Structure 1
Amino acid sequence: MAPRILLCGDALGRLNQLFKRVQSVSKSAGPFDALFCVGQFFPDSPELLEEFSDYVEGRVQIPIPTYFTGDYGVGAAKVLSLASRKASNQGFKMDGLEICHNLFWLRGSGKFTLHGLSVAYLSGRQSSDVQQFGKYSQDDVDAIRALAEDHGVDLFLTNEWPVGVTNRAGASEIPVGISDSTGSDSTVSELVMEIKPRYHIAGSKGVFYAREPYVNTDADHVTRFLGLAQVGNKEKQKFLHAISPTPTSTMSASELSAKPPNATLCPYSLLEGASAPTESKKRSSDDVSDSQYWRYDVAQKRQKNGSAGERPCFKFISSGSCSRGEKCHFQHDMEAREQCRRGVCLDFIIKGKCERGPDCSYKHELQDQSQSDSQRRSRSANANRSKECWFCLSSPNVESHLIVSIGESFYCALPKGSLVGDHALIIPIEHWPNTLLLSSENETELSKYQNSVRSYYKSHGNDAVFFELVSTRGTHANLQAVPVPSSKARLLPNIFNLAAEKLGFTFVTRKFSDSSDGRKYLQKEYNKTSGFFYVELPDGTVLSHTLEENEKFPVQFGREVLAGLLKIPERADWKSCAVSQEEEAKSAEEFKKQFQSFDPFE
């Protein structure tokens, strides 16, 4: 059965009237699966704040799952700031940040699936203001372009009307007084031409307008535009509308291409320059918005606290330099720095003790400089293995049922809670903290594994993306390999760079014709004392980022970005994708069987 959806225009905080009408309609024609609100959702005057707060603070229940895009109005900053900080709203979320039970904020831009329907949205208004909420940025526009590459959008939600939507419409169908001079957005028009949704829903004009379906250029299906009025408007224009669209994914080609008798030509093809492909507007350095589809809660860099005295300078120990120079109140102790470089716990060096105990991966005793590198490595490896590392083959805790190939220095295994089928890990057999510290001999074997995985993915119509987060905590290295459909590979640089921008950093980008040259570059780029994240893309592009001191970097960043590209945000967290050991073993056996002809050690 097709889902039943309610659509609403500007709520303006009048939630009593809105939900009274929703319940009335539900009794006569329901039940309904969801309510989408476009246009301004928050009050337009302080007088309505108490009524509005009763709902968002849970004193009055919202009767139906409700999603809104108009994140502006009286009280918006307070409510949305609180929602942004909720633990349940952290990470990669495109299906709505929960405000309260049954109320979800569609922030920035995104695309998700609800009851089989593909829903895309562009929240807020186009604005040059520096306000935190209520506007969209060029990043949001770029994200929508990338997410909707397959043109599979059932519903597209925007606040503003698209410029030109009344072109080629029957004159009797156009509401009186409607024009493009106010409340219309040319960027929305450009997006609609590219995305080609089956339904486009907008608010902010204060009138109800159900345009005749129009035929899309280079697409078989038609688009229906619906403009909705404000809740409680004096003209009694329709502010609530019901639809029951069949999801595109379940329709046959003939059903999708059926043209109603009143269909018109595309209204936007008359716009100036519409025949030429639309290019993204150049982003300025000031055009940075919180409303982006890569949604991370980026904590502020922590300030160093403590009293002056004999303690070593943290900055000097960790990086080898301190910008405070002689003005620094802490010791620039070279011996302490050398101990740190030999793997001694930083807390142990500075405080004389470590409160993490057995959970700490570093040494809790000073190291003799006379020890050889090989002795220190061996001692460190043995200490870590004794803690039953998940990835050391000699550990009794290793998940052996996930292993699909074993070489001389590396093995290949499936991860727990894989992002997609054929998601794999390439892991050193010995306890190494990252793959960038390996010898040239080991690097050669790693390259063999990478090339084999590339070939295997290619045989299934996919390209390989490799990424690794290098931690200073001494965890066991694992290079992640994720297959991405070859048709989407060209989107990867833009997707990762946009995600980086929202986290407040910029990737160092280099492109190599030979992947081994890319690995050599990464080994030189990595400074061994800081955290490091890098991605190897199918076209030879290498993206890298050295983590700053105390930088809060999402441990699942690479996975979350790819989950967005692949339109599976619900799988961004590996813990939510966990399956039984029996299912894991079955998947590993299937991968091993298909990978066998590509395995360099078979």
Structure 2
Amino acid sequence: MESSTAPTASSASPVKILTVGSAVGSIRDLFVKIKAIDAKHGKFDCVLCIGDFFGPLKEPGALGNGTDETEQLLNGDIEVPLKCYIMQGENPLPDSVIEKYAKTGGELCKDVFLLNKSGIMTTAHGLRIACLGGIYNPGIYTTAEAPPGFASPFFSTHTVERLLSNTLVKSSSKSQSKNQTYSSLTSILNASSSSQLVDILITNDWPACITQHSSAPLSSPEFSSEGAIPLDEVIRKVKPRYHFAALGGRPPQFWEREPFVWDDEAGRVSRFVSLGAFGAEAMGGKKPRWFYAFSIIPPSPSNPAPSRPTNATKNPFTELAPRPPKRTLETFESGENFIWGNVPQPGKRPRTSEYSTLFRHFITSCPERQKPPEGYVCRICNTPGHLVRDCPTRHAVGDTGGRKPRPGYVCRACASEEHYIEDCPVANAGQRGGERRGKRDQVKEIGPDECWFCLSNPNLAKHLIVSIGSECYVTLPKGQIIPTQSNAVGNDGSISTVPGGGHVLIVPIAHHPTYNTIPADIAPPILEETDKYKSSLRALYAAHNASAVFFEVGRLSTKGGHAHVQAVPVPTSLVGKVEQTFKSQGIDFNGTLEDCQSSALPGGRGRSYFRVDLPDGRTLVHLIEEHAPFGVQFGRQVLTDILGIPDRVDWKACMLPEEEDKADVKAFKAAFASFDPSM
């Protein structure tokens, strides 16, 4: 979630920031230390708390009757010395914190703000701070059905996609003219690389290649082979001036890398710092450094290009170090063995040799092999003490009899967290005899790079986008219902007086199948921004003698989809026909539309539905029964009937040339500018 505040007159002055490592639940003591540091070295403008702020979740009944420091903080009973921004580290967040975040949008108490798991914040000084919380697990990263929320310790492809989508938005002050805002939006739609730059990036994990080309000594050699590979691509795109990470070892250790330069960005300089945890025990007689103070000047076109630091190294993200060559057959036969050293090898050993037996014993049954290395954490259950193959949850059974999913997985067909999609009764309902599909017959799910609505898809029709917010964007559809440009010839010109036609889609930036499947802990800001766009569109339509009809087809399927709400202006003279026409058409489709006065749909998250918001503010919902026919163009068919333009049912037949689409976009943006909540 990106917030923006107008820059002050002192924007060109350096901003003084204190960054601290994981508090691991020692909140009161950390704030006491921060207050002392600020008194001695301040005044600081704000504090960035990276890593685990609350620490591991406590067992039920171990909270001291609600008087632990987390509850004290949420109740405002702990003194906060400076404005603090915190993030999710390597543990799930407490339920009470998630609930407070959902209610307030991030403000946990006075001067303590929880950043979105993947989002951007623009400070009052004009600094752009990006956050990616959670930890990287290769299996969960690629299999998660939706962005894991705060209740999961992991991040996924969807989390990263959401972060990069949000970085596309340039911050703009309230003092900017409308022309400047349009210019910024144009650069967004053109996917300008400069629009993704951030000043500060905070993450829990390290990027995979950060140690390359560095001569700074590591506290542990294993750091050179660890790290989250997806973070490398994030850094290549956002090019942070400062990058702070928390999970540098167990316990975390301090490490500061030499700066490196982005030659394609006028010599932009990046610095990476990993901090130790606050209050960590001393190792080797010395406690790891857990705080870092620095000053940074907000970006400005008038700022001179930075000078290249004398200790700058090659950029590890653009000049990857070559991998060592593979060992050849001759290497093995010459007697050099990577496990046992330089051992004479007179010839190839038979498979049944004594050596082979001993080696097999070492791999499979040696007691020493059963012990995980120090600091090892099982990637299945995220707990130490055992190897993956010995994990007690490895063979856990889900609610439908198949394997139990890893934390963070959500079935795209029914939104359950208790089974994989191949074991889902909804996904498999239409199969003969109720048998599950074989792997060869499974329907391939839609990924973000294939989805028509994901901003990361290079084939997305970006020229149709008219507004981008923090959580959602608004776009004209291909082949809108309202006839415009060359399609308006021969049609009733009074169908809509909204410039550009007015038929638009409100689309969440993050990939979710339907609005009803968005996880509860991340849903509030998405729903709030959707409602803001709805209110703005109602006001725009009203200014052109029309009312808004919103509809969503929440169709769950094995392939999944991407949630979106369609908004169509209906002339005021036709508003009285809307409800009755929807209900009569619903009967034709062997279903009934029920009055629904609450935002929560009856039937729970695992149901398909059709929802329409009437001009008077009431909502009608039709629950789509399994196996029952229901056309995805139902809403469009009803509205073309109301508007008296039945030939506009098929969107493909209504498509315009790109130049005419761009003319509609320009006209709509000009009319929407004074109503747009993203400005």
Normalised by the length of structure 1, the TM-score is 0.47
Normalised by the length of structure 2, the TM-score is 0.42
